Every structure is written in C-alpha cells, then in structure tokens.
C-alpha cells in the first residue's frame, strides 16, 4: 500500500511541473495565470508569448511528462496494473492541480495524451478523430475538446473486449483500462468547466 502511495505522489510531482508557467516567465516575464485565458497550458502559452517555439516546447514537455511517468512505472519499477493506473491518474492530477501554483494548472490534455501514447496509442488517434468531428460542428476548439473527452471513453466501452486487449500495452485488463481512462477523462472534463460554461451559459461569465 505504501509503495502505491509513493507511485502516486512521485507521478503527481512530475505532473505538477508547471511547464507553461516556467516557459512564459522566461520568455515574456509574465504570469500566465493572469494573461490570456489564464490556463497554464500549450495554447495559452502560445497566445501570451506569440511564440510557436514556446507553444511547441510546452506541448512536447507536457506530453513527455505523461509518457515518461508511465514508462518509469512500467519499465523501471516493473509494477503491475494498479500501480500504472495510479501513476497515470497521478501525473494528470499533478498537471491539472499543481501544488506549486496553488492547484491552478492546465487542462491536462497533452499530459493525458502522452500517457495514452504508452498505454494505448490508438486511443490518441480516436480522440483526435472525435475532436475533429466536434470542432467542425461549431468551429470551436474547446467544444472539440469536450466532445472528444466525452466520446472517446464511451466508444472504448463499446469496443469488443478482444479487440481492446490487442491495442493495450502493459498488464492492463480491458475493464481496468476503461475505468482508469474514464476517470482521467472526468478529470479533464472537470478542468474544462470554464470553457463549458462560456459555451453553454455565456451570460454567467459577467454575472448576468
């Protein structure tokens, strides 16, 4: 039990490295939390600095946090599915709610995608396809995010278990993978509460 707690905490602290905050501070001497959308993530880092290099660097490092943490747990620690699940959840929670920034982090998409590239890369492609469909409906990036976040785990639960097992890496059973992925998706959806509010209840933003 104590080992699992250590895995979660280590994963949390890796995920909590505030890549966008550090990059924007170094580039423009701006606190990203008080600029642009206020989100500590790739898109806002690019919009605040106007630098594609900064945006790409933040995207790469945030994805690497997710992938690296899962690889560390799977390859170097040699632990089973429960530890990998805690590691995946921990790194995403760390990115979304970093202790260093008073628990105000990014929305977790890049970090979750990095983890999924290791656990089951076809789900990253499925997510992107769902995102394109959602984006085309009203030409809004956040709406595409929400559609993909909700649709991808739903489609996962609809897949035949035999097929699902063929596209999973590591010791996951199909049901445990889907439970973990659904939980991570719920975290991502929670971090999209402001875009969801602005999309569906725009008048509440100004207190109207």
Give the count of beta carbons closer than 10 Å to the beta carbon of residue 31: 14
Predicted TM-score of the model (pTM): 0.91
Number of Cβ within 10 Å of residue 154's Cβ equals: 11
Q: Is the pLDDT of residue 205 over 70?
A: no
Using 50, 70 and 90 to split pLDDT, how confident is the model at 81? confident
* Residue pair 12/93 in contact by the 8 Å Cβ criterion: yes
| Number of compact structural domains in the chain | 1
- Domain range for 35 is 2-206
Whole-number pLDDT of residue 90: 96
Residue 32 in this model has a pLDDT that exceeds 90: yes
Non-local (6+) Cβ contacts of 112 within 8 A are 66, 92, 184, 188
Cα–Cα dist 5/112, whole Å: 20
pLDDT of residue 79: 66
Nearest C-alpha neighbor of 89 from the set 61, 108, 102, 117: 108
């Amino acid at each position: 039990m104590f080992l699992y707690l250590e895995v979660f905490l280590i994963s949390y602290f890796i995920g909590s490295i505030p890549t966008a905050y550090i990059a924007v501070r170094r580039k423009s001497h701006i606190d990203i939390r008080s600029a642009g959308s206020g989100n500590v993530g790739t898109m806002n880092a690019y919009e605040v600095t106007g630098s594609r290099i900064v945006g790409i660097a933040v995207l790469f490092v945030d994805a690497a946090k997710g992938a690296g943490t899962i690889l560390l747990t799977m390859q170097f620690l040699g632990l089973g599915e429960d530890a990998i699940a805690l590691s995946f959840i921990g790194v995403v929670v760390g990115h979304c709610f970093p202790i260093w920034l008073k628990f105000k982090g990014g929305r977790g998409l890049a970090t979750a995608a990095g983890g999924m590239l290791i656990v089951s890369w076809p789900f990253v492609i499925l997510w992107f396809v769902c995102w394109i469909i959602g984006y085309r409906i009203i030409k809004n990036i956040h709406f595409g995010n929400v559609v993909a976040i909700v649709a991808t785990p739903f489609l996962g639960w609809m897949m035949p278990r035999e097929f699902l097992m063929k596209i999973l890496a590591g010791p996951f059973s199909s049901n445990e993978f889907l439970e973990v992925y659904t939980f991570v998706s719920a975290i991502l959806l929670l971090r999209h509460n402001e875009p969801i509010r602005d999309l569906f209840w725009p008048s509440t933003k100004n207190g109207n």
